[in-house]
């Protein structure tokens, strides 16, 4: 439903414009159509080919497919313009055919970006060559069709059943792309991902205008503007992603919350990146801990079925949960021995310090502030700093991820625990300090990681065995 709301909002402008121009007729010289539409198509084709070349250099197969789709649509748009009756050729059906099919053809190529083969860098050069071959073939076929243009029938006739079928096919394809981009936007909240959603919706509107109106209708001319605008709204975000070195994935819709953690500058903004750099300068091990905790927390959240908006806030809270340690003295933070009661009292203040820092900076959602302040709270009210027990699901997730990573990582004052030993502690306190569902989801996440060669959990440490948490482990579980 949130994605449908975004798409509906994006459709208001083109729908309103089409409705306002539906009964209006215009007299535009054919030369204007050739010049304006042809020039726009030629520029779009050059820009699309440049996008593909740049994407190939950084091995982004999806962006190459994006450029391929745009170059095909733009080339067919040029053919459509050159076939304008009364300029280079007389009355013909090529102008209708090229105008009706260019958007559905592009939609099919865009949909192919979701194929797994598009992810493999080995295929990028082949995709780029295929794009050049397609554009050359279209240009050749368009030249031949222009020579025989008067003999080509008008297919499909405007507002005919055939036009309705073509529109339905293209609308379904672009609707799927808009839905994927909308889901990505709900996860990242980036304006660029919202633009992709808007662009896909506008291309549906453009297709409607081209199929249901003719050259004498103002809506037909509006459709050309919507088409060029839609291509730009989709292409510009892809170019921005290439600048960050991040694969362009709004149209694929497979972005995961873990990607927000891995590429925080591209997906969560420069402020988060700056805070992470400050934390790394303060204590590299704490910065690495926060990244691992954030990645683990959002995987648990995905396992529990959290929606995109809440996963994004969980990723933010995970990355920023230990920012209060920027105020902890180095001699306490890096002490290679158990802490004294006074030193531990200082450590216990870091959740509130972190919340105060983010509140002072401003712009962070209330849930992010609660995650930072409450990541050491427990369901049995034995946590700190507020001894709270009524904890939101995101907070429960973060506490489990934080404790597990703190225990299974090497610290300056003790070696890492084995995963089995850490789970003994978590299982022992499930239903008390920790949420059983979150502990169970953590187990599922780690089992899934173990089946992936590049994401295995830390190996068991033969030096440590099952045991109750001693005094220094309490500090270790504090993250």
Residues 474, 434, 399: CA angle, nearest 5 degrees: 65
CB–CB of 301/418 below 8 Å?
A: no
Q: Cα-Cα-Cα-Cα dihedral of 167, 209, 67, 116, to 10°?
A: -30
Quote the CA–CA distance of 249 and 300 in Å, as a whole number: 22
CB–CB of 98/80 below 8 Å?
A: yes
Higher pLDDT among residues 235 and 406, named by residue = 406
Residue spans per domain, the chain? 2-244, 257-476
Length of the chain counted residue by residue: 479
Place of tokens 């994935």: 249
pLDDT of residue 296: 96
- For 128-148, what is each residue's pLDDT tens digit? 898 999 999 999 999 999 999
CB–CB of 313/367 below 8 Å?
A: yes
- Among positive and negative, which fits the CA dihedral 159, 161, 163, 166? positive
Which tokens go with 57? 């250099």
Quote the CA–CA distance of 387 and 392 in Å, as a whole number: 14
Biggest distance spanned by C-alpha atoms of the chain: 92
Class of domain 257-476: mainly alpha
- For 334-378, what is each residue's pLDDT tens digit? 888 888 899 999 999 999 999 999 999 999 999 999 999 999 999
CB–CB of 227/199 below 8 Å?
A: no
pLDDT of residue 455: 43
Confidence (pTM): 0.77
- For 79-92, what is each residue's pLDDT tens digit? 999 999 988 999 99
Q: How large a percentage of the chain has pLDDT more than 70?
A: 91
Q: What are the phi and psi torsion angles at 217 (to 5°)?
A: -100, 135
CB–CB of 421/465 below 8 Å?
A: yes
Quote the CA–CA distance of 471 and 459 in Å, as a whole number: 24
pLDDT of residue 252: 73
């Amino acid at each position: 439903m949130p994605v449908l709301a975004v798409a509906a909002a994006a459709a208001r402008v083109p729908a309103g414009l089409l409705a306002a121009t539906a009964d209006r007729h215009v007299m535009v010289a054919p030369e204007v159509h050739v010049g304006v539409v042809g020039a726009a198509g030629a520029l779009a084709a050059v820009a699309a080919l440049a996008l593909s070349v740049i994407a190939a250099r950084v091995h982004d197969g999806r962006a190459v497919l994006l450029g391929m789709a745009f170059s095909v649509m733009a080339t067919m748009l040029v053919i459509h313009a050159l076939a304008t009756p009364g300029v280079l050729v007389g009355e013909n059906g090529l102008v209708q055919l090229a105008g009706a099919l260019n958007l559905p053809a592009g939609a099919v190529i865009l949909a192919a970006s979701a194929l797994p083969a598009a992810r493999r860098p080995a295929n990028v050069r082949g995709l780029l060559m295929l794009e050049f071959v397609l554009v050359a073939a279209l240009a050749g076929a368009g030249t031949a069709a222009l020579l025989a243009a008067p003999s080509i029938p008008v297919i499909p006739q405007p507002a005919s059943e055939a036009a309705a079928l073509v529109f339905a096919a293209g609308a379904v394809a672009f609707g799927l792309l808009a839905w994927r981009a909308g889901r990505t936007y709900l996860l990242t909240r980036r304006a660029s991902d919202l633009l992709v959603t808007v662009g896909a919706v506008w291309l549906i509107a453009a297709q409607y205008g081209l199929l249901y109106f003719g050259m004498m209708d103002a809506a037909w001319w509006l459709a050309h503007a919507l088409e060029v605008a839609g291509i730009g709204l989709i292409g510009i975000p892809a170019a921005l992603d290439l600048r960050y070195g991040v694969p362009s994935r709004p149209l694929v819709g497979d972005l995961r919350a873990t990607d927000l953690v891995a590429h925080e500058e591209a997906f969560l903004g420069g402020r988060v990146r700056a805070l992470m750099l400050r934390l790394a300068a303060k204590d590299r091990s704490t910065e690495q801990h926060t990244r691992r905790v954030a990645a683990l927390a959002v995987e648990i959240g995905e396992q529990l079925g959290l929606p995109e908006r809440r996963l994004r806030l969980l990723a933010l809270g995970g990355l920023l949960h230990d920012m209060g340690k920027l105020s902890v003295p180095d001699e306490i933070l890096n002490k290679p021995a158990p802490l004294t009661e006074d030193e531990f009292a200082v450590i216990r203040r870091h959740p509130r310090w972190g919340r105060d820092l983010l509140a002072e900076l401003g712009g962070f959602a209330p849930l992010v502030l609660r995650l930072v302040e409450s990541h050491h709270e427990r369901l049995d009210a034995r946590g700190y700093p507020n001894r709270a027990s009524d904890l939101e699901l995101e907070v429960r997730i973060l506490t489990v991820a934080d404790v597990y990573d703190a225990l299974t990582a090497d610290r300056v004052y003790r070696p890492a625990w084995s995963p089995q030993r850490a789970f003994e502690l978590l299982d022992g306190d499930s239903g008390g300090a920790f949420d059983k569902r979150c502990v169970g989801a953590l187990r599922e996440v780690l089992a899934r990681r173990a089946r992936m060669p590049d994401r295995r959990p830390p190996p068991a440490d033969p030096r440590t065995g099952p045991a109750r948490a001693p005094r220094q482990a309490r500090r270790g579980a504090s993250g």
